[in-house]
Chain A
Amino acid sequence: MTTDITIPKLQAADIPTATRRPQSMLVETLYNLKRNRSAMIGLAIISFMFALAIFAPVIAPYNPLQPMLDRDDHRGLGRLPGRAPCIHLLGCTLEEPEHFMGLDLNGRDMFSRVLWGARYSLVVGIFSVAIGITSGALVGMVAGYAGGWTDDILMRLMDILLAFPALILAIAIVSFAGPSLENALLAIAIVSIPVYARLARANVLSIKEMEFVTASRAVGASHKRILFIQIMPNALTSLIVQGTLDVGSVVLTAAALSFIGLGAQPPTPEWGAILSEGRNYVFTSPHLVFFPGIMIMITVLGFNLLGDGLRDAMDPRLNRN
């Protein structure tokens, strides 16, 4: 007796299909980021600050370094240094020239100074993080790849740097190098090296055991090629996310150094330095302190929101499928 065994034909519709085409990590991250409302707010804030920084010469009504004392339109107004804000819409008389944020102690327009200040904070924030990541990645990758005593010595050095609270070490370095914005930028970068070095080392340790690295070693690639062409691109992603998260605190530290006189020097319109100039007059002219501080806060908030969003967007546990 024979039984017919019929094998059902496989239909295209029977094959389970993925609900969504698999995407590259970058596309996936950007997609997640776009759906994250607070990250988008952060991005908007940062873009706004960049616009202010770039167009400061166009938007600023006055030269940030020029005192109003010798201007014709400011004659007969009485005392100018530290003058409170004058906004026509809010009832300031039309005869008086408009100063949205008032005048500083040298009779300079605060609004113009605060606008120009955006340039310094953004430059310091981004450059010191970039320098920190580059140096940290180099130290961490060499330590992780070489292993042995190279690893031990480099990482113990990093431990020593980490043993200081960041601001204290930055203060010590700047006071050795001499107070200036450039030295403050470098000091903040140096202080952040150990964090990136540890991260880079951890990444390299896991990547160097992967098969594609063994393969390139087998075909005779040099250490330099393996480290920089094969391992580095794979080790950098988490460093960049960490870097974005750090820009905010770097901006804060830079402002703090300027505030205690170790960063930007007067008359540079850096926010921390402006704040420092006005600190002793906060009880009589609070506007000298209020506006630069608000700008620092908004900028840092922008970077923090974007950094948090980026971290969430790259976290595979939070992906939707």
Chain B
Amino acid sequence: MTTFILRRIVLTIPVLFGILALTFLLTRLIPGRPCTAIYGERATEALCSAFDARYGLNDPLGQQFLNYVGRVMTGDLGDSIRLSRPVVDLLAERLPVTVELAFAALFFAVIIGVPAGIISAYKRNTPADYFTMIIANIGVSMPVFWLGLMLAYMFAVVLRDTPFALPPSGRLDAGTQIVPFFVQWGLVTDATTASPILVFISRLYTVNAILTANTALFTNSVRHLILPAIAVGTISMSIIARMTRSSVLETLNQDYVRTARAKGLRELTVVMRHAFRNSLLPIITIISLNFGLLISGAVLTETIFGLTGVGRTLFDGISSRDYPLVQGFTFFIAFAFVLINLLVDILYGYLDPRIRLS
């Protein structure tokens, strides 16, 4: 198992290096000078050359790349040009929104998708099955951003004065005051000096609400997550439902399921303990493979729901030619994507010895 893990990690290194090179090149090839994009009409030649010198944009490309790699190795992703702040700080500040959104979406997808798939497989070729599969087929075909807009209209306008009304934008109600958990616990006296890790955790508002035992903040932040999470999670939910259905269908036909029935086990036990448990492997794979979909979905929905997360920051960065920001964020997303795939590979090797030994 150790050799297997080590081999997988070693194989990942050239890919990570390639990602660095690609993000570097892509951002350097964006047409237009960052200086003119930032200062607009005020960008004089003198101002721009000073600007280029300050950010090292005059160095040869190779030198710039080496500098970049060196800095990344030490955990420095540079400073955002437009916001004049370290990219790492921006990540720590804005990633939590995206992470919460992605997890909420995944939660929604699994909690609906898996049971729907099991029921669909068990009630094969009945109206319940047809209904679930029609919904699943429609779900994978919907544009995420359209679903987001329609949900916002539905829950903020049509259902406005009903108990089902939900806020269509923002991460929290306007004017909500947040006390970071590390301040309430007395770990740090001045919130501005807290380490990025602590800031990151405190900005997962649902987590912060739990850590500070603040129920009002918890409901507030969950209510704001519901609509974007449904929008982002619907495609994943449909894929998971379809995968669960076909996987459970396969195991339901196995001899051990017949044996379980023959020895008089309750039907629920047969389905859950014998059929579902043995069909978990492909389901877990498909769930973990949905990470890319969740990130893309977050990029598209954050702007709709007024959430300042990674997607929205990245998008603003592209339109203002903020090289270090775009570079850092794209690199980070790809890096996380690679890490998650690595974890899935290792998990898979752990669950299925045939993979680890081949």
CB of A67 closer than 8 Å to a CB of B: no
Tally inter-chain residue pairs, CB-CB below 8 A.
Answer: 134
Is B146 within 8 A of A293, CB to CB?
A: yes
Is B296 within 8 A of A168, CB to CB?
A: yes
Which stretch (B133-141, B258-266, B280-288) binds chain A?
A: B133-141
Is B18 within 8 A of A163, CB to CB?
A: yes
When the two chains form the complex, which single residue of B143, B292, B296 contacts A293, counting CB atoms closer than 8 Å?
Answer: B143
Is B141 within 8 A of A248, CB to CB?
A: yes
Shortest Cβ gap from B315 to chain A (Å): 6
Is B26 within 8 A of A173, CB to CB?
A: yes
Kindly supply a per-residue 1/0 record for chain B positions 285-314, scoring 1 wherever the CB is within 8 Å of any chain A CB and 0 otherwise. 000000111011001100110000000001
Across the A-B interface, give the 9 residue pairs with the lowest CB-CB distance, nearest first: A293-B146, A160-B18, A165-B292, A167-B296, A300-B141, A301-B141, A175-B318, A176-B29, A282-B149
CB of A296 closer than 8 Å to a CB of B: yes
Chain A: interface residue total (CB-CB under 8 A):
41
- Hey, which chain B residues are within 8 Å of A159, CB to CB? 15, 18
Which stretch (A14-22, A108-116, A254-262) binds chain B?
A: A254-262
Is B145 within 8 A of A256, CB to CB?
A: yes
Is B141 within 8 A of A304, CB to CB?
A: yes
Among residues 290 to 312 in chain A, which have CB atoms less than 8 Å away from a CB atom of chain B?
A: 290, 292-293, 296-298, 300-301, 304-305
Is B150 within 8 A of A289, CB to CB?
A: yes
Known contacts being A156-B15, A157-B18, A163-B18, is A296 close to B143, with CB within 8 Å? Answer: yes
Among residues 234 to 291 in chain A, which have CB atoms less than 8 Å away from a CB atom of chain B?
A: 248, 252, 255-256, 259-261, 272, 275, 279, 282-283, 286, 289-290
CB of A171 closer than 8 Å to a CB of B: yes
- Hey, which chain A residues are within 8 Å of B334, CB to CB? 163-165, 168
Shortest Cβ gap from B25 to chain A (Å): 9
Shortest Cβ gap from A49 to chain B (Å): 13
Label chain B's interface by main secondary structure.
Answer: helix
Kindly supply a per-residue 1/0 record for chain A positions 114-150, scoring 1 wherever the CB is within 8 Å of any chain B CB and 0 otherwise. 0000000000000000000000000000000000000
Which residues does A use to contact B, with CB under 8 Å?
A: 38, 156-157, 159-160, 163-168, 171-173, 175-176, 178, 248, 252, 255-256, 259-261, 272, 275, 279, 282-283, 286, 289-290, 292-293, 296-298, 300-301, 304-305
Known contacts being A165-B337, A168-B334, A175-B318, is A286 close to B153, with CB within 8 Å? Answer: yes
Is A260 within 8 A of B18, CB to CB?
A: no
Is A297 within 8 A of B142, CB to CB?
A: yes
In the bound assembly, the distance between CA atoms of A43 and B17 in angstroms comes to: 44
Is B149 within 8 A of A163, CB to CB?
A: no
- Hey, which chain B residues are within 8 Å of A293, CB to CB? 142-143, 146-147, 149-150
Nearest A residue (CB) for B28? A176
- Hey, which chain A residues are within 8 Å of B15, CB to CB? 156, 159-160, 163
- Hey, which chain A residues are within 8 Å of B156, CB to CB? 283
